[in-house]
Amino acid sequence: MEQPQRLCKGGAQAVVNLQPNSSISVAYHPLFGPHNDLILLELDEKLLPDVLHQRVSLRGQPDEDAVLCTQSKTYAIKFVGTSNSVFLIPPSDESALHENARDSNEKDHDQQDVASVIKVAPGNMELVEVAPRLDKLKMLLSENPYKSDEVFEVDELEGMEKNKISLFKWDDLTDRVQASDDELRSGLHSLSAVEIDGYWRIVDEKYMDMILNMLLHNSVLNDWSLYALNENEVVGVLESDGFPPKLALHCLQNYGSKVDKGVGNSCIWSLDEKRLCVHFAREILRRGKMKMESFMEEWTQKIPEGIQASFDMLEGEVLTERLGVEMWVRAFSLSSLPSSPAERFSMLFRERPKWEWKDLQPYIKDLRVPGLSSEGLLLKYTRRTQPTLDAEPVFSAR
Amino acid sequence: MQIRVKCSCGQGNCPEWAIVELQGMVEAQPSFKGQLQNLEIGQLCRPSAQENYTFTVGYHELTGSKVPLKKPLLVLKKMSHMEADQSSDLKSSRVELEVIGIIRHRILFKTRPKALISRPQPVVKERVSVQGSIVPNQLA
């Protein structure tokens, strides 16, 4: 430890390497005490390189239970107490060894190895892999979505100052969100967040709708194929329509994927049919629930020419229910649901007390709990009833 | 808040710490309460080439063995660095955890103590308690 002491001679090395037919005295260290700043952390061997190469950190706000994050995973930290007496013996430090060497030259008669106990450990910390706490990310970014009016108010200092309050840079997010870097990145991706002027933002849906409609409008005007959009061309035209290039590009990323490096330095993008169809269904159902027939009519009308919409695409986005003879449809989006299983199921059963498997499955298939299978999840959070053997099983709250 | 876990020892060079673990408590004689520093607890002995050990505390002997830990334990030390905040007078402290050691084995004594000599003993108060008669270390 800090102060070289004669008692340090021997230390942990002497205990670990105690030779046959020999003994060592175990004593309280001159600095013996509670030493609450010394923590024992039990660690999987496979995580050791991450820790030793300084790739892990603890994340959490003062009011949250800290988690440990590696590059790709998140672990809850649990304290496991013990009723045993765990004597913790540090290695003797080198200066102490030298001192002892000198001492023993002077008077070698009373020299005996001593292992000194610095503290009695009350237990140790354990790591349990957990799902990243990404709901908070959604909450933080939803506080201040990027809206169309922001495009015009960049010069208004006052407005900026006010809005900065709920704007987050990458480091602000790692400070606040209990997720590893990789999980945070994929969380930002699944929220369709975009980095604008260094801040991570989600874009207001109405504004996204404006950009997308403008893009589709332009593709008709300019005779572009939705499956081969030239990035530079699209971004250029949208910019002349008043949309920032970053947002135009974000629109391509959100509703399409890069297919080709393309010609020159421009990329070629292909729009994704399903994502387009889902977008328009959401836009229509924003107004509330609709009769199936009128929904289908309006939906197919809105969808750009050449794209075939099928109702299956809306899995995890809408619920249908029969009221009398009519079939009704309304928005119920997976992305609006919490990601923790307990909260997810409670939300689902508040929505509907009874679920058939085919309806339920789209809303729970993304749930991943380390160490629990999807059957285990169902057992834990639902009650399964099957009136007759050939009937569809029905799931209700436990 | 983010707390970095630092390590200055690098892989393979992490100093190894040791654990001697026994069931129950070691109690010092009342005259030493609160003054445990430098007191000898007992003698740890490895009587043979096998990984069996005895731990003699006062007039009692424990028998145990060296057990490799299923998962290693890291010894972390909480470090607070006071930082003078330029923008204000407030001093904020930044906490870091530093890896200062690793533990891969413990010497575990899970048996009840055996009396070494027969002589009138005071009644042992707790069943699991190892009544340690600790003598002050000669060197202290």
Interface ipTM: 0.80
pLDDT at residue B74 above 90? Answer: yes
Residues of chain A with Cβ-Cβ distance to B50 below 8 Å are: 20
* Cβ within 8 Å, pair A90-B17: yes
pLDDT at residue A57 above 70? Answer: yes
Q: Which of A7, A58, A61 sits opposite B38 (nearest CB)?
A: A7
Residue of A1, A5, A13, A18 for testing the chain B interface, max B β-carbons within 10 Å: A18
The reported pTM is 0.79
Angle formed at CA A186 by CA A182 and CA A189, multiple of 5 degrees? 145
pLDDT at residue A255 above 70? Answer: yes
Exposure pattern of A279-312 as b/e (b: 16+ CB <10 Å)? Answer: bbbbbbbeeebbebeebbebbeebbbeebebeee
Q: Please, is A267 exposed, middle or buried when counting C-beta atoms within 10 Å of its C-beta (0-12, 13-18, 19+)? A: middle
Contact with chain B for residue A26, Cβ under 8 A: yes
Residues of chain B with Cβ-Cβ distance to A41 below 8 Å are: 73-74, 76
pLDDT at residue A160, as a whole number: 53
pLDDT at residue A306, as a whole number: 85
Confidence of residue A170 (pLDDT cuts 50, 70, 90): very high
- The residue with tokens 């010894």 is B75
Name the 3-class secondary structure at A151.
helix
pLDDT at residue A115 above 80? Answer: yes
pLDDT at residue A98, as a whole number: 41
* Digit-coded pLDDT (tens) for A6-47: 444 588 989 999 999 999 999 999 999 999 999 999 999 999
pLDDT at residue A320, as a whole number: 93
Task: Give the domain ranges of chain A.
Answer: 6-130, 135-201, 205-271, 290-397
Confidence of residue B102 (pLDDT cuts 50, 70, 90): very high
How large a percentage of chain A has pLDDT more than 90? Answer: 71
Average pLDDT rounded to a whole number, residues A230-243: 94
Q: Are A180 and A130 in contact (CB under 8 A)?
A: no
pLDDT at residue A72, as a whole number: 95
Average pLDDT rounded to a whole number, residues A237-242: 94
Name the more confident of A372 and A84. Answer: A84
* Cβ within 8 Å, pair B6-A54: yes
Q: Which amino acid is at B42?
A: G
Q: Which amino acid is at B111?
A: T
